Structures are given as C-alpha cells and as structure tokens.
Amino acid sequence: MNYMRCDRGGVVFKVLSAAAFLTVCLFAGTASAATTKGVWWWRGSNDAINPAEATRRLDFLSAHGVDEIYFCADLRKVQKETQDFVRKAHARGMRVALLAGDVSWIHPGSRGFAVTLDAYLAYQRAAKPDEKFYALHLDVEPHQDAKLPDARKWQLYADFVLRAAADIHAAGEKVEWDIPFWLDGIRVTYGYLENAPLLEVVMSAADGVALMSYRDTAEATLDVSKAEIALAKKRNVRVILGAETGETGEGSVVTYFEEGAAKMDAELAKVSAALDAEKVPAGAGIAIHHLGGWEKLVEKEKGK
C-alpha cells in the first residue's frame, strides 16, 4: 500500500502578455507583500524529529521572506513532532500545508490517497488551532507513469482529481494541486464533455494550484502561466507560480541553478509584482522548489 512518496529532491484565454506584465514591475527589487511566498519542503518527516535542524531551516526561510510551507510528512509516524513544527512555523508567521502525493494514486483500486486523507483528517481533529494545516497540497504527476498510455493516464488523473477533491471538501478541508503548465493542451472526458481541457477539470476541483512554471526569467515564467492565471481568475482559484533551483537535467531554462540565488530573487520579485497587477480574486503567490535545492543555491553563491 502506497501512503505517499516524499523522496524528491484547447481553450484560448486573452490575458496580458508577459512583456506587458513586466512593464508594471521593472521597479521591483523585493517580492511584493501582496503575494505569498512559499516553498516545497520534501524531507519533512526527517526534520520534524530533529528540532535543531527544523529550527535552522525555519531561520533560513524567515530570512528569505517565506510565509507558507508545503511540508511533506508521514502523519502516521510523526504526528506529535509535526504538530510542534507547525506551531513553530505559525509563530514565525508561516502557514503550513501538508504536502503529499504519488502517481500510483490514480490507478484503479489504489488506497494510497484514502490512507493519506484519513491520516490528515485525524491530525486536523487532534491539532490545536496553531497546529493545523491550512490545506492538503497534492503532488500527483501522471506523466511520471511510463506504464500507462497517455490518454489512459490523463483520464485516470482527471477522475482521481474530481474524487479526491470531493472527499476533501466534504470533510471541510481545502486542496491545492501541483500541476505542469501544459495541462491546457490535454483533453479528457468531463461530465457530458468528451473533449474537455484537463486544466478546466483541475481548476474546477481546486482551492489553489501551484504551477510548475519552471523557467529562469520572469518573462518566461509569466508567459507559460497565462492560461492558468486567466482561468484562476475566472474560477476563483488561488494560483502559485513555481521556480526550480536544482540541477534537473531538463535544460538550463527550467532552473535557476546556473543563474544563482540573487538572480532568482530579482526575477521572482518581478513575477510577484506582475501577479499583484493581475489582482487574482482568490490570491496569488510564488513558490520555490525546493528547500534543499534553494539552500544549496545560496551556499554556492556565498562560496561555501
């Protein structure tokens, strides 16, 4: 039974062009206060049981203006430790979502998500107000499944997203989905529609989406995010634009690994200002993938 894996290091929408976005934000030097600044924290279970390490990393995030964390932890094993962590993060002005997900969850008969949701709801019931997660932040990436044909895997994903969101919302909780920026080019069956854009399906079942808008300039990040920003405004969904820090092997344009931390900060400040100008009703933010890679990027720039 797969609980979660935390081992990681159509429709045309008219919106402002990336260039137009940038005309309102060339002045920006720091991330705008009106947008959130988040981070993916994958090795949460390990850090939750090591308070000194968790504190060191929280110090790093405080120094870099982070106000929300997507924290991956096995709540069956580290519930008390996670409660302590969330409380400490809240004391620093950072809210926390539980980060979880596995591609196997889309497979018929999988119980992985049900187990995760049960653990999450038990945690929420037991937690004090300053220990609660603000949402489930789910990273389920069908493109990682090499066994299923594309049409099949994306339909299974669409069906899963709708079921999972219904269960989460029925429990009074919120859900955010990590998604690639090209879902608007994939079609699935959705209700009576046989050729629906997958992006529409996900947005219909989300309180927020964190877009893997991995590019190494603000202009490129905004350009690949146009459809998602427009639909988030239409659907009243929060939209987060992500930045990559690691050496991915997917090409230098997808990561700030070569450009460095200072360049990333400057470009993300422009993204934040552009999102402010968009005035997304449900809110918007930027986020960095991931904490370990970000720390290494900063250390490399300092010459450590």
Q: Look at residue 93 and tell me if it is in a domain.
A: yes
Q: Which two tokens stand for residue 188?
A: 């699935």
Q: Are 188 and 201 in contact (CB under 8 A)?
A: yes
Q: Look at residue 3 and tell me if it is in a domain.
A: no
Domain that holds residue 61: 18-302
Q: Enumerate helices (H) and strands (E) in the chain, giving the number of each.
A: 11, 10
Q: Are 45 and 80 in contact (CB under 8 A)?
A: no
Q: Look at residue 249 and tell me if it is in a domain.
A: yes
Domain count for the chain: 1
Contacts of 107 (CB under 8 A, 6+ apart): 156
Over the stretch 259-284, which tens digit does the pLDDT of each residue have? Answer: 999 999 999 999 999 999 999 999 99
Cα(104)–Cα(3) distance, rounded to whole angstroms?
10
Cα(173)–Cα(159) distance, rounded to whole angstroms?
19
Say which range, 17-31, 141-155, 238-252, 285-299, has the weakest mean pLDDT: 17-31
Check whether 111 has a pLDDT greater than 50: yes
The percent of residues above 90 in pLDDT, for the chain, comes to 86
- Beta strands 238-244 and 284-289, pairing class: parallel
Q: Look at residue 4 and tell me if it is in a domain.
A: no
Cα(36)–Cα(68) distance, rounded to whole angstroms?
7
Over the stretch 58-109, which tens digit does the pLDDT of each residue have? Answer: 999 999 999 999 999 999 999 999 999 999 999 999 999 999 999 999 999 9
Q: Look at residue 1 and tell me if it is in a domain.
A: no
Q: Look at residue 94 and tell me if it is in a domain.
A: yes
Nearest to 83 by CA among 50, 138, 129: 129
Q: How many CB atoms lie within 10 A of CB 192?
A: 6
Give the domain CATH number at 249. 3.20.20.80
Q: Look at residue 244 and tell me if it is in a domain.
A: yes
Q: Label residue 139 left, alpha or beta by phi (over 0 means left) and psi (-120 to 50 means alpha).
A: beta
Q: Output the pLDDT for position 18.
A: 44
Q: What's the whole-number mean pLDDT along residues 3-7?
A: 54
Q: What's the whole-number mean pLDDT along residues 206-232?
A: 98
Give φ, ψ of 109 to 5 degrees: 90, -10
Cα(203)–Cα(191) distance, rounded to whole angstroms?
15
Q: What's the whole-number mean pLDDT along residues 98-126?
A: 98
Which alpha helices (H) appear in the chain, and where do they start and end?
A: 18-23, 44-48, 51-63, 79-91, 112-126, 150-170, 198-204, 218-223, 226-235, 261-278, 291-302
* Length reported for the chain: 304
Q: Look at residue 6 and tell me if it is in a domain.
A: no
